[in-house]
Amino acid sequence: FTRIKRVEKIDRLKSSTRGNPRYKFTFEDGDEMKTQPDAGWVYAICPDQLVGRPIAATYHFTPRGKGVLDGVATCQPCQDSAVSV
């Protein structure tokens, strides 16, 4: 799925076993999604600059219903920070 969502907050989670960063995104609609362990695209984002802004969130759900964020793109036309897996 890809939907426009406004970011309420982003929490830094414990790094993966390989030492890569992980994040939990909370959106204004109440949805929470985590990045996958070892997802390389998270190195291309600056979480502080996404809070309060709308993003195009690409995500999927696990069989247990957990949201997993697969990529994000900013919605500002002047920025070219589209990142996805």
Q: How far apart are CA 4 and CA 21, in angstroms?
A: 23
Do 55 and 35 form a contact (C-beta atoms < 8 A)?
Answer: no
Q: How far apart, in whole angstroms, are the C-alpha atoms of residue 79 and residue 40?
A: 20
Q: Whole-angstrom Cα distance, residue 64 to residue 76?
A: 33
Looking at every residue in the chain, the average pLDDT score rounds to: 90
Q: What is the pTM of this model?
A: 0.86
Strands 67-74 and 32-35, sheet pairing: parallel
Residue type, 74: T
pLDDT band at 75 (very low <50, low <70, confident <90, very high): confident
The DSSP element (H or E) to which 49 belongs, if any, is: helix 47-50
pLDDT, tens digit (0-9, with 9 covering 90-100), for 36-54: 999 999 999 999 999 999 9
- Please give the pLDDT value at position 36: 97
